[in-house]
Structure 1
Amino acid sequence: MLGLWCASAVAWAQTPAATAAQPAPTSTSTSTSSELLVVSTDIGDDIDDAFALGLLLRSPQLHVLGIASAWGNTSLRAQLLQRLLQQAGRSEIALAVGARTTSAIPFSQARWAARGQLPDKLPDAAAMILQQARLHPGKVTLLVLGPMTDAAVAQQRDPAGFAKLKRIVAMGGSVRVGYGKSAYRPASAPAPGYNILADVPAAQRVFATGVPIVLLPLDATQITLEEPERIALFAHGDGLTDALTQLYYQWRNTDQPWASATPTLFDVVPVAWLLRPDLCPTTPLHLDVDTQGYTREGAGTPNVQACLRVDKPALIEMYMRALLQLP
């Protein structure tokens, strides 16, 4: 068993790009070949947001117009984003601050975030969403990696502007499988997914907007980053992977049951879907968000495209190649 583990770790470590870090690729073009994105993220609690942004920043096919902090202490989250972008060499990406809320989830990466700089006069998240939707009508994808609060605020503020979004791609919900999905245990019953449960009225509003929604629920997002991949990633040694390493260990040091050695990459899956939809094929469904935060299948015209299964080996392979800058 040890030999198999070592072989896997060495396989990543011996690649040329893994032993000599190269500058991260950047994308400053708004050409029609790139996907235009505004990102809403509650980075800083769980670790999956940071790993998802790592893939975003390594993918020149995705043109990030702006990133907005979401939920809880959004000012401190914006500081975390500023520091992460600076270390990754991507400080050109605009930032925005989402609506501040209460949150019961510990901000596990607060110490790292506190060393970031909060730029003056940042726009609020809703303003960024609406500005980019109007500047690029029908071309901007809103990527939601946290509660849907700011998307709902934007829609309420300017319904016509919000309707100019190309689509919403969101990690959230639980359709046929709940938390604890594993290849070695029976599927658990559907549960209220955190990103929906945190702000049920916001999710209900967003689901009713008529903007196309691609939903990546718990059914498809409970994939893990195992030790050989973590070792290769943390040893890569450039600004972005060093930041991810530090954030991982702050998260790992949190006294919470979900802060295990092996992170679950919930938020990575929607980013991977944007890059390769074949990894996570979608099914048209009609989903209703009930008052308890469940996303329940119902009759009626489909209002979401939901990914219910994912090709985990292919996704992890793509993720590692992107983060380690392999051909």
Structure 2
Amino acid sequence: MSSIILDTDIGSDIDDAFALALAIAVVKPITRVLAVTTVSGEVELRAKIARVLLALSNAGQVPVYAGASEPLETGKFVWFGTEGDGVLCESDVLMDPIRGFEDVVKLVSRKSDLEVIALGPLTNIARLLEFVPSRSFERITIMGGYLGDATVNGAAIPRCFDYNISADPIASLKVFRSGVPIQLVTLDQAVKTYITNPDLDKLEARGTRFHRSIVNAARQWRILLAAIWSGFGLTLPSYVAAFLHDPLAVACALDLGYCDFDSMWLRLNIDNDEVAIHKSTPFSRGSVKVCCSVAVDAARFNSFFVESLIGMHAS
């Protein structure tokens, strides 16, 4: 079994916390999760959020590391200012300091079976590849990419919503050109997955602090998400409490069968500090072969996700 690194910009957008929860619920044994690493902005705060959620879900033995706070060269990370709201309490005091990137390198340098699940900008992964041979990685599953028409309730989703790959263009190019097999869970498929308000009510009814925390954070995120959509002239559908982009990436990394994939040749270009991904051919300079999502059984995945979190043992 592969050793999993979950790389995340956990904070305001609830789908990172949801993804962490799903990994805890379905990865057996949990020790397969070698590390959780955080990226973007105040990475130590993000690490604290992850550690608190892990502890509340009886998975506190999973180590958490603070990674890159800034992009490699160009690019821009987003910081909403609400990171941790709904999850962290004043009484959440960490008993030992949060470890940094150097400790991650030491940890993974002894491994040759790494499965990376990248849920945020690819900066940490690009940095790891500078120190750890590409042969140590079995696969990198990335939540990102915009290859088809991404629509929600008939409305077209702007390409700039594909944040993870464009946030650090240089890092993205390094990862895609590393030679490590890449599985891309694309935005045009991921936007079909979501959780509803009745689903949140079911989670809240579990009554644990863990479940209450992620529900509170999800409800706060929806307010912010609706404002973001409004800024682009879009209306967030009332039935969407939150999208499940990152949990879907976790499910795909674990090969749980909710997405169909095809191998494609892709070409990545940097344009105005953003990464544009185009379908290509093996004869086009700079093209890389990537396993891309082409379909998702959204209804079945949505149900699986909710039932998995309801069934979690947490405090």
TM class, shorter-chain normalised? Answer: 0.7 to 0.9
Matched with 1:224 is 194
Query: Does the 8 Å CA contact 1:39/1:68 hold for their aligned counterparts?
Result: yes
Matched with 1:314 is 300
Matched with 1:107 is 81
Matched with 1:199 is 168
Query: Does the 8 Å CA contact 2:17/2:50 hold for their aligned counterparts?
Result: no
Counterpart selection for 2:262 from 283, 295, 319: 283
Tell me the SS of whatever aligns to 1:267.
helix
Deviation at 1:295, TM superposition (A): 1.5
Measure, in 2, the Cα distance between the counterparts of 1:264 and 1:166: 28
Structure 1 runs of 4+ aligned residues shifted over 2 Å read 60-63, 101-105, 107-127, 130-136, 186-192, 249-261, 274-278
Query: Does the 8 Å CA contact 2:146/2:187 hold for their aligned counterparts?
Result: yes
- Consecutive unaligned residues of structure 1, counting only runs of 5 or more, are 1-31
Measure, in 1, the Cα distance between the counterparts of 2:168 and 2:258: 29
Matched with 1:177 is 149
Deviations 1:231-251 (A, max 9, x none): 111212234312212322332
1:260-275 superposed matches below 5 A: 262-275=241-254
Deviations 1:104-147 (A, max 9, x none): 3403234444744456554334642x44443331x220110000
1:1-327 superposed matches below 5 A: 32=1, 35-61=2-28, 63-101=32-70, 103-111=77-85, 112-113=87-88, 115=90, 116-117=92-93, 120-125=96-101, 127-128=103-104, 130-137=105-112, 139-156=113-130, 158-160=131-133, 162-178=134-150, 181-182=151-152, 184-185=153-154, 193-222=162-191, 223-254=193-224, 256-258=227-229, 262-291=241-270, 292-300=274-282, 303-325=289-311
Measure, in 2, the Cα distance between the counterparts of 1:195 and 1:206: 12
TM-score, normalisation: structure 2: 0.82
The letter for the 2-side match of 1:247 is A
Deviation at 1:202, TM superposition (A): 0.5
TM-score, normalisation: structure 1: 0.79
Question: Quick one: percent identity of the two aligned structures?
Answer: 24
Deviation at 1:267, TM superposition (A): 0.5
Q: Give the CA RMSD over aligned residues.
A: 2.5
Deviation at 1:198, TM superposition (A): 0.6
Deviation at 1:253, TM superposition (A): 4.8
Query: Does the 8 Å CA contact 2:176/2:288 hold for their aligned counterparts?
Result: no
- Consecutive unaligned residues of structure 2, counting only runs of 5 or more, are 71-75, 231-235
Q: How many residues align?
A: 286
